[in-house]
Chain A
Amino acid sequence: MNAIFLSLIVASIVSLLFTGPQKVLIGLNDGASKALSFSLYMLPIYAIWLGILELMEKSKLTEKLAKLLKPFIRFLFGKQDETTENLLAQNIAGNLIGVGGVATPSGIEACTLMQKENVQVVPQVAMLILLNSSSLQIVPTTLLSLRQTYGSTNPSNILAPCLITSLLTTIFAVFMAKFFEKIKQKRSKR
């Protein structure tokens, strides 16, 4: 991120030096004040969904979802011990409903347990990372609210495309992760 940020900002300022130096200050001010108004837009949105997510955790709805996911986890990660399986379930359940707060700590724990002392990434950890970065979220809660804030006439009309895209991407991610795992196994056998 650092490299991208630096190169883009230097390129912008250098090119503005030739085309209109006064625009640099305009850009700086515009950007900063826009950032503030945007975070004021986001604050109530976060408030709503973090409130609802807190409710889901306190009423153990997240845990219940995790239990339903067990067979799916066996398929993806093979047989793991009880603790790891629970952590994986929590991580995936957290992702499904978009609770980063639940997903991240359990993801870190699960990775640490599955990775053990290995220096090279084990396939199960690679699978978890890829699964997480393909985003499993069912209802993109904050984004729906953001669409509402920006005057969408029907914020929910992205739900179906989101669901289809997430599903296809996740299937693709699982398939590719398993495929690369196989290739690697074949290579190391030689």
Chain B
Amino acid sequence: MIYIVPIFVLFVFLYGAFKKVNVFKTFCAGAYKSIDLSFNLLPTLVAIFVLLALMSQAKIDVFLANLCAPILQIFGIDKNLAMLIMLRPFSGSASLAMVESIYTNFGVDSYIGRCASVIMSSSDTLLYISAIYLSKTKVKKLGYTLPLGFLIAIFSSIVACFVCKFI
């Protein structure tokens, strides 16, 4: 598994050279976009991190985690992942902020840190996607899409926590 990233990166660079793309210029052009992206994300991140900090000062995060604990336990999910699982379908930056706070509080390589990583990368922001994908259509009724989307998100969290126990 440790070879995947190096080989992937090497392949992309070599393939670019093979296709006669200016590798250096193109890489820089792509990297340049990160400035816009980070600064556009900053206000949202401030809002979310302030929220998380206030919640932890007021111990509301602990309260919520304990509240969800009995339900989550049935599915073998650690209670400290409750906030992340709840935020994931709603906002990408909020869940990223949550992952960061899990990394700092429990450690990246802890079981919870690994679960958080897998949950983060194996589901996506359902509400944002449905809003933006339907923005040019005349859809008024979403039918089963959203409830099913939430069900799939919960399913993916359960699988993530289960798989992380063994690998």
Chain A interface residues toward B at CB < 8 A: 1, 4-5, 8-9, 11-13, 15-16, 19-20, 23-24, 26-28, 30-32, 34-36, 38-40, 42-48, 50-56, 58-61, 104, 107-108, 111-112, 115, 117-121, 125-126, 128-130, 132-135, 137, 139-141, 143-144, 146-147, 150-162, 164-166, 168-169, 172-173, 176-177, 180, 184
Apart from A150-B104, A154-B109, 16 more pairs, CB < 8 Å: A31-B49, A31-B52, A35-B48, A48-B31, A54-B31, A125-B137, A129-B129, A129-B149, A134-B156, A139-B4, A143-B99, A156-B2, A157-B1, A165-B122, A172-B155, A176-B151
In the complex, which of the residues A60, A134, A161 contacts B118, with contact meaning CB atoms closer than 8 Å?
A161
Within the complex, the shortest CB–CB distance from B116 to chain A, in Å, comes to: 10
The 10 closest A-B pairs by CB, nearest first: A54-B30, A31-B50, A31-B53, A140-B121, A46-B34, A51-B31, A47-B34, A35-B49, A27-B54, A51-B30
Q: What band does the interface of chain B fall in when counting residues whose beta carbon is under 8 Å from A?
A: 35 or more
Q: Give the chain A neighbours of B51 by CB distance below 8 A.
A: 5, 8-9, 12, 31
Asked if B134 contacts A31 (CB within 8 A), the reply is: no
- Does B85 belong to the interface (CB within 8 Å)? no
Cα–Cα, bound, A46→B89 (Å): 22
Which residue of A is nearest B37, CB measured?
A46
Asked if A1 contacts B91 (CB within 8 A), the reply is: yes
Asked if B21 contacts A59 (CB within 8 A), the reply is: yes
Cα–Cα, bound, A21→B55 (Å): 13
Q: Give the chain A neighbours of B52 by CB distance below 8 A.
A: 31
Q: Which of A4, A108, A137, A158 has the most CB of B within 10 A?
A: A158
Q: Is the interface of B mostly helix, strand, loop or mixed?
A: helix
Cα–Cα, bound, A184→B127 (Å): 22
Asked if A34 contacts B123 (CB within 8 A), the reply is: no
Asked if A51 contacts B27 (CB within 8 A), the reply is: yes
Q: Give the chain A neighbours of B104 by CB distance below 8 A.
A: 150
Which residue of B is nearest A133, CB measured?
B126
Within the complex, the shortest CB–CB distance from B117 to chain A, in Å, comes to: 5
- Does B78 belong to the interface (CB within 8 Å)? no
In the complex, which of the residues B12, B100, B122, B148 contacts A177, with contact meaning CB atoms closer than 8 Å?
B148
Asked if A16 contacts B57 (CB within 8 A), the reply is: yes
In the complex, which of the residues B30, B60, B103 contacts A52, with contact meaning CB atoms closer than 8 Å?
B30
User: Once A and B bind, how many residue pairs between them come within 8 Å at the CB atom?
Assistant: 309
Which residue of B is nearest A40, CB measured?
B38
Cα–Cα, bound, A160→B34 (Å): 28
Asked if A52 contacts B38 (CB within 8 A), the reply is: no
Asked if A164 contacts B49 (CB within 8 A), the reply is: no
Within the complex, the shortest CB–CB distance from A142 to chain B, in Å, comes to: 9
In the complex, which of the residues B49, B124, B140 contacts A132, with contact meaning CB atoms closer than 8 Å?
B124
Asked if B145 contacts A121 (CB within 8 A), the reply is: yes
Asked if A52 contacts B27 (CB within 8 A), the reply is: yes
- Does B23 belong to the interface (CB within 8 Å)? yes
In the complex, which of the residues B13, B30, B134, B139 contacts A50, with contact meaning CB atoms closer than 8 Å?
B30
Which residue of B is nearest A48, CB measured?
B31
18 A-B pairs whose Cβ atoms sit less than 8 Å apart in the complex: A1-B127, A31-B51, A38-B100, A43-B38, A48-B31, A50-B30, A54-B30, A59-B19, A121-B139, A129-B126, A139-B8, A146-B99, A150-B100, A152-B108, A152-B113, A165-B160, A169-B159, A172-B155
